[in-house]
Amino acid sequence: MPLNTSTDYSDRTRDLLIVQDGDYTGKEALVAFSYGVALGKVTTGIQKLVQKFLVIFLTDEGSVTYDSTFGTAFMPYVRGGLLRDEADIAAAFDQAVSVTQERLDLDASEDTPDDETLESVELTDIEISRETGLLRLSARLTTAAGESVTVVIPIALVTP
């Protein structure tokens, strides 16, 4: 169930909802991307911030034709097999969060609401499963309004 149950979007910018099935009310939410289930739905607030954060964080830097600075190096590190242990993952995560924060700050305006402004990100758990080939990152995002949510980001690992 999304956080934003209100349909009063007056004086707010809206994004198309693509991050599905999360309860963004201070709990842990497994990230799932989908266009089909909520086709035409929009989002604001912390759910919009989570979505923007993930899009930047998971996009390969340099892969967007019209904006070569969009994205981070996190996924190329994952696909390249460069993240061998939790220390490598945490370091790459922190670097990618820094780039993501800079981009969010660059894209923000004086009209960006506090609940759509990223204050901090904390990596709370790293779970590596060689058997399933899955890396699960748990990260707590906190807004400038003081709202927090922990998102679980599932990432397929490259197997050697």
Question: Collapsing DSSP states into helix, strand and coil, what is residue 29?
Answer: strand
What's residue 11's pLDDT? Answer: 60
pLDDT digits (tens, 9 = 90+) for 90-105: 999 999 999 999 999 9
Which residues are bridge partners to 128 per DSSP?
Answer: 135
Residue 71 neighbours by CB distance under 10 Å? 23
User: Of the ranges 12-16, 29-33, 135-139, which is most confident?
Assistant: 135-139
Q: Per-residue confidence at 2, pLDDT binned at 50, 70, 90? A: very low
pLDDT grade for 30, boundaries at 50, 70 and 90: low
Flag the least confident range among 27-36, 39-48, 79-88, 148-157.
Answer: 27-36
Per-residue confidence (pLDDT) for residue 89, from 0 to 100: 96
Percentage of residues of the chain with pLDDT beyond 70:
72
Burial classification of residue 29, based on how many CB atoms lie within 10 Å of its CB (0-12 exposed, 13-18 middle, 19 or more buried): buried
More confident residue, 149 or 25: 149
Residue 39 is predicted with a pLDDT of 55
Please state, in angstroms and rounded to a whole number, the distance separating the CA atoms of residues 75 and 156.
10
As a whole number of angstroms, the distance between CA 46 and CA 59 comes to 20
Domain 15-156 is in which class? alpha beta
User: Is the pLDDT reported for residue 21 higher than 90?
Assistant: no
Q: Over range 9-36, report the average pLDDT.
A: 52
Q: How confident is the model at residue 81 (pLDDT cuts 50, 70, 90)?
A: confident
